[in-house]
Chain A
Amino acid sequence: MLAVAAVLALAACGAPADAGSDGEVTGAVTVFAAASLTDVFSDLGRRLEDDHPGLQVQFNFAGSSALATQLTHGAPADVFAAADTDQMDVVTDSGVGVVSRAPVLFARNQLEIAVPPGNPGGITGLTDLADPERTIALCAPEVPCGAAAEAAFDAAGLTGAPDTLEEDVRAALTKVQLGEVDAALVYRTDVRAAGDAVEGIDFAQAADAVNGYPICVLTDAPNPAGALAFVELVTSDAGREALATAGFTGP
């Protein structure tokens, strides 16, 4: 079903619009993006700036639900990229008409257990994250990674035993990097982005909690040409390659 939605969305959103991708692309483009996209989008933003002198790409990285709230309250932005379709729906269904074209799915991501180097808590799988004795960080259920975590625990028939519910996935990852928790449930891409600072542990139920990432140009985008250029870069072969390098899978 998701695949069909993706194709439909592509048909609606991916076609080059009148704004013209080869026209003048200058000024500032403001991109609201899920925290898990921090590294790969920053790279793509720099690449777009190199391709278009005079263009500046500004990012607001945060939990998708926080971004959705900001957008429905009128935050000025050109592009929104969420970590799941629910939060994109919040924006498209808000009745304030902020999305001009149907969102397009551009990547998928799945959860992985992140532990500090050396795995001091002796974590081996999802069962250990249901152990109240251990110090565990999960994402708050309001944000996509938290919703995915709930799905993963449900699939495993377990109840998570978090000590803290973080406001976005990078906040959860930070707690692992600081060594303050024994484990956190984050995205596979976050584990990869953290390099040697954390170790990743795969678990079987991760496949039951896969997030699709939609992106779209916003109706009131102050810079529609720049917005379209960014979305086209993300959905281009070069964009997919960058996303794949970061650990995302294709839509």
Chain B
Amino acid sequence: MPLPLLVPAAVGVVFLVLPLLALVVRAPWSAIGPQLAEPAVGQALRLSLVSATLATLLSLVLGVPLAWVLARSSIRGRSVLRALVTVPLVLPPVVGGVALFLVLGRQGIVGRLLHEHLDVTIPFTTTAVVIAETFVAMPFLVISVEGALRAADARFEDAAATLGADRWTTFRRVTLPLVAPGVAAGAVLCWARALGEFGATITFAGNFPGTTQTMPLAVYLALQSDPEAAIALSLVLLAVSLGTLLVLRDRWLGRSAAV
């Protein structure tokens, strides 16, 4: 193997893996049991898992059809549309949080109506956490599914159409099974991104144990008062992310997990 490739590659591996190893090495192993037995930890972990899962489901419901529109339809301004819906990928999450306030906050464009007419307030609730996570994570799913759709052989869909299937039936019976690995990979990326979401969540949903304090927020605040607890919490997140990635990779993603 050529050295000009091998050396930077090795440095890259060290750069990415060393911080994770440091978490493991510096973990207060003797105190980790009691740390993790704290009810607050279970609460934050449960909230994180539930909200990331809900955000992923919401992203699937909205994102797969959106990816189909981007990949298969011939509407005008499709590339502009694609650019718009992937903006959250590059937007600093805190900005996303502020933007969500301006739409869904009590004084927001839509939120004001909800608050005045239906007495519904979204910020500082678990709903707000799910919304913030969906806003940040859904583009990952859309991009992934759109890529899978573009790579899929369109002749199967053409054949289905020739046999008399309408586009909805074709989508359900042919397209979706065809791109299932891509959807699964996108869902995992989306879920992992949602699980790690911090900026939009702390801005739009606030921080309160049990309702809006997810694991990343708990880690951030623990670091200010009890660094050992922060390391213990980080280990939990690391284990959950790593475990999910490994399990899903083997079970469902097949070769497309290499994406």
> B-contacting residues of A (Cβ < 8 Å)?
63, 65-66, 68-69, 135, 137, 140, 142-143, 162-167, 175, 178-181
B225 sits at the interface (CB 8 A): yes
Interchain nearest-CB distance for B169 vs A (Å): 46
Q: B224 touches which one: A66, A162, A178 (CB < 8 A)?
A: A66
Question: Are B224 and A166 neighbours in the complex by a CB distance under 8 Å?
Answer: no
Q: Which of B147-155, B175-183, B186-194, B204-212 contacts A (4 or more CB under 8 A)?
A: B204-212
Question: Are A162 and B101 neighbours in the complex by a CB distance under 8 Å?
Answer: no
Interchain nearest-CB distance for A219 vs B (Å): 21
Interchain nearest-CB distance for B128 vs A (Å): 10
Interchain nearest-CB distance for B70 vs A (Å): 33
Q: A143: which B residues are within 8 A, CB to CB?
A: 224
Q: B207: which A residues are within 8 A, CB to CB?
A: 140, 164-167
Question: Are A178 and B220 neighbours in the complex by a CB distance under 8 Å?
Answer: no
B43 sits at the interface (CB 8 A): no
Interchain nearest-CB distance for A70 vs B (Å): 10
B244 sits at the interface (CB 8 A): no
Task: Scan B95-125; emit 1 where CB is below 8 A from any A CB, else 0.
Answer: 0000001000111000000000000010110
Given contacts A65-B224, A135-B106, A163-B211, 9 further A-B contacts (CB under 8 A): A63-B224, A135-B121, A140-B207, A162-B208, A165-B206, A165-B207, A165-B209, A167-B221, A179-B107
> A-contacting residues of B (Cβ < 8 Å)?
101, 105-107, 121, 123-124, 202, 205-209, 211-213, 220-221, 223-225, 227
Interchain nearest-CB distance for B57 vs A (Å): 25
Q: B220: which A residues are within 8 A, CB to CB?
A: 167
Overall SS of chain B's interface: loop
Question: Are A178 and B124 neighbours in the complex by a CB distance under 8 Å?
Answer: no
Q: B209: which A residues are within 8 A, CB to CB?
A: 165
Q: B123: which A residues are within 8 A, CB to CB?
A: 180
CA–CA, A177 and B223, complex, Å: 28
CA–CA, A167 and B223, complex, Å: 12
Question: Are A68 and B124 neighbours in the complex by a CB distance under 8 Å?
Answer: no
CA–CA, A166 and B123, complex, Å: 13
Q: A68: which B residues are within 8 A, CB to CB?
A: 224
Question: Are B225 and A166 neighbours in the complex by a CB distance under 8 Å?
Answer: no
CA–CA, A147 and B176, complex, Å: 54
CA–CA, A143 and B221, complex, Å: 9
In the complex, which residue of chain A has the Cβ closest to the Cβ of B121? A135
Question: Are B106 and A179 neighbours in the complex by a CB distance under 8 Å?
Answer: yes
Question: Are B206 and A164 neighbours in the complex by a CB distance under 8 Å?
Answer: yes
Question: Are A163 and B208 neighbours in the complex by a CB distance under 8 Å?
Answer: yes
In the complex, which residue of chain B has the Cβ closest to the Cβ of A68? B224
Q: Which 9 A-B pairs have the closest CB atoms?
A: A164-B206, A65-B224, A179-B107, A163-B124, A142-B225, A142-B224, A164-B124, A180-B105, A165-B207
Q: B202: which A residues are within 8 A, CB to CB?
A: 167
Interchain nearest-CB distance for B117 vs A (Å): 16
Question: Are A69 and B106 neighbours in the complex by a CB distance under 8 Å?
Answer: no
CA–CA, A164 and B124, complex, Å: 6
Question: Are B224 and A164 neighbours in the complex by a CB distance under 8 Å?
Answer: no
Interchain nearest-CB distance for B217 vs A (Å): 9
CA–CA, A24 and B207, complex, Å: 46
Q: A163: which B residues are within 8 A, CB to CB?
A: 124, 206, 208, 211
CA–CA, A137 and B107, complex, Å: 16
Interchain nearest-CB distance for B27 vs A (Å): 17
CA–CA, A195 and B227, complex, Å: 37
Interchain nearest-CB distance for B80 vs A (Å): 30
Question: Are B208 and A65 neighbours in the complex by a CB distance under 8 Å?
Answer: no
Q: B227: which A residues are within 8 A, CB to CB?
A: 69
Q: B101: which A residues are within 8 A, CB to CB?
A: 178, 180
Q: A165 with B208: in contact, given A179-B106, A180-B123 (CB under 8 Å)?
A: yes
In the complex, which residue of chain B has the Cβ closest to the Cβ of A164? B206
Q: A135 with B107: in contact, given A166-B206, A175-B206 (CB under 8 Å)?
A: no
Interchain nearest-CB distance for B119 vs A (Å): 12
Q: B121: which A residues are within 8 A, CB to CB?
A: 135
